[in-house]
Structure 1
Amino acid sequence: MIQPRNGGSRFLYDSFDVASARIDANERVAEERWSALEYRLGQIESTLERLERRIWLGVYGVAAFLLTQGAEAVLRAAMR
């Protein structure tokens, strides 16, 4: 380290490692992007689970409707 001659800040005289700073910055950016990606994937996953529940609810509703129609047809045929 070069000592300052007439006082002042040591940051004026210390060397600055640009490559290391860029690598550190890129690592921080990559970590932030990764955490954002994980967060977004979690949101997508929960949305897909809700959609799946809605689809199954619709499937069960259609099945119940068809069973009701079949039961009604059987009851009408038995009453004749």
Structure 2
Amino acid sequence: MSQRKEGPGSRFLFDSFDAAHARIEANERVMEERWSGLEFRLAQIDAALERLERRIWLGVYGVAAFLLTQGAEALIRAAMR
């Protein structure tokens, strides 16, 4: 701290301001906000990937069901001849 001069006036006129500490605190707050934003975006991406995975599996099961149906139909037609 700088030396305080005796006399009238506020002590805040003579006390030093720790700019480095204030800058570090501000950077920490900014990084916390960026981190929370990143976590929010990652959660959205994760949800979108889960939806996409469900759609892909639905398509796979649909193709498998179609092929099984075609195979069953071929067996039934062969048995009727």
TM-score normalised over the length of structure 1: 0.85
| Counterpart position of 1:44 | 45
Higher relative contact order (CA 8 A, sep 6+): 2
Number of aligned residue pairs: give it. 79
The one-letter code sitting in structure 2 at the alignment partner of 1:39 is F
Partner amino acid, structure 1, of 2:18: D
- Unaligned runs of 5+ residues in structure 2 are none
Task: Please tell me whether residue 78 in structure 1 is matched to residue 79 in structure 2.
Answer: yes
Q: Which residue of 1 aligns with 2:22?
A: 21
- Structure-2 residue corresponding to 1:58: 59
> Which contiguous aligned blocks of 4+ residues in structure 1 show a shift greater than 6 angstroms?
none
Q: Tell me, in whole angstroms, the C-alpha distance in 1 between the residues paired with 2:56 and 2:6.
A: 72
- RMSD (Å) for aligned C-alpha atoms: 1.8
Q: Where in structure 1 are there 5+ consecutive unaligned residues?
A: none
Identity over the aligned pairs, expressed in percent? 76
Cα 1:30–1:57 shift into 2, 3 Å: same
C-alpha distance in 2 between matches for 1:69 and 1:4: 99
> Taking structure 2 as the reference length, what is the TM-score of the superposition?
0.84
Aligned pair in 2 of structure 1 residues 51, 17: CA closer, same or farther (>3 Å)?
same
Distance 1:73 1:27, change over 3 A: same
